[in-house]
Amino acid sequence: MKAEREPREAAGAGERRDIVLPGGCLLCDGDLEVRLGEGGHAASFCPRCRWISHPHMRRADGAVQVIHPAGGLA
């Protein structure tokens, strides 16, 4: 999933930043709130279905990519 939005609140160096990805929830298509921390760590929360995850994030082609790796094999 790609989102071309800038952080909703930009924090100082070494602090956390929050962004909202409209329709970014994989479970219910609700808005996904993502908190970016130090060292590239991220945590996400969907207020609609209350899904919490720890996605991988990376910047590519001028966009932010949110990657939810598989939790197991079926």
Question: Predicted confidence band at 28 (pLDDT cuts at 50, 70, 90)?
Answer: very high
Q: What does the pLDDT average to over 53-63?
A: 85
| Annotated domain spans of the chain | 15-67
The whole-number pLDDT of residue 61 equals 86
* 11, pLDDT greater than 50: no
Q: What does the pLDDT average to over 60-69?
A: 82
Q: 44, 46, 47, 48: which is closest to 57 by C-alpha?
A: 44
The whole-number pLDDT of residue 58 equals 81
The whole-number pLDDT of residue 44 equals 93
- Could you give the maximum distance between any two Cα atoms of the chain, in Å? 42
* 8, pLDDT greater than 50: no
Cα gap 66→58, rounded to integer Å: 7
Angle at 30 between CA 65 and CA 46, to 5 degrees: 80
